[in-house]
Amino acid sequence: MVRVAMLVGEGFEDSEVEVPARCLREAGHQVVVVGASRGEMLMGKRGKQRVKVEVAAGNACPDDFDALVIPGGHGPDHLRMHSEVVEFVRGFMGTDKPVAAICHGPQLLIEADAVRGRTLTSWRSVRTDLINAGASWVDESIVIDGKLITSRKPADLDDFCVAIVNQLRV
């Protein structure tokens, strides 16, 4: 069974957690919620979703997972203030495993210094940050750069989910 770490922070975009988690589970994969503090209850920014952190990033190891998904919303901005979260992302980016980030999710990739020389997309307000961090930014629903998958917004979730599931089949 494929184990997917879903890195979630307070104020996450509700649909960007709910839809990929459902798609991954329907494909037979296990989704594990990783966050800053184990046991923490997190609320989505729209108030529709609540999730409980199952594993603290400081206790998580990329070797324990087959892929990483980073939803957007305000969560990535909160999470990038936690060094153990940034180290987990940096460690994951050093593997040859799929990493998928949507909307504001690439903020964590920037903080982990993992976008230089890569091509990504994101929510439009993250564009300049990505460019300043050395990435090429494109305005497309889905961008795949090796094992890195990025997407712009909730309206792109269908493409995002298909890309993740396809990467996990490889």
Residues forming the active site: 103
- 89-97's contacts with Cβ under 8 Å and 24+ in sequence apart are 89/7, 89/114, 90/114, 91/61, 91/62, 92/5, 92/62, 92/65, 92/68, 93/148, 94/62, 95/62, 96/147, 97/62, 97/65, 97/66, 97/67, 97/68, 97/147
Which tokens in the block code for residue 90?
A: 């940096």
Cβ atoms 82, 57 nearer than 8 A? yes
Q: How many C-alpha atoms does 83 have within 13 Å on its Cβ side?
A: 0
CA distance 89 to 111: 9
Q: Residue 119 CA to chain centroid, in angstroms?
A: 16
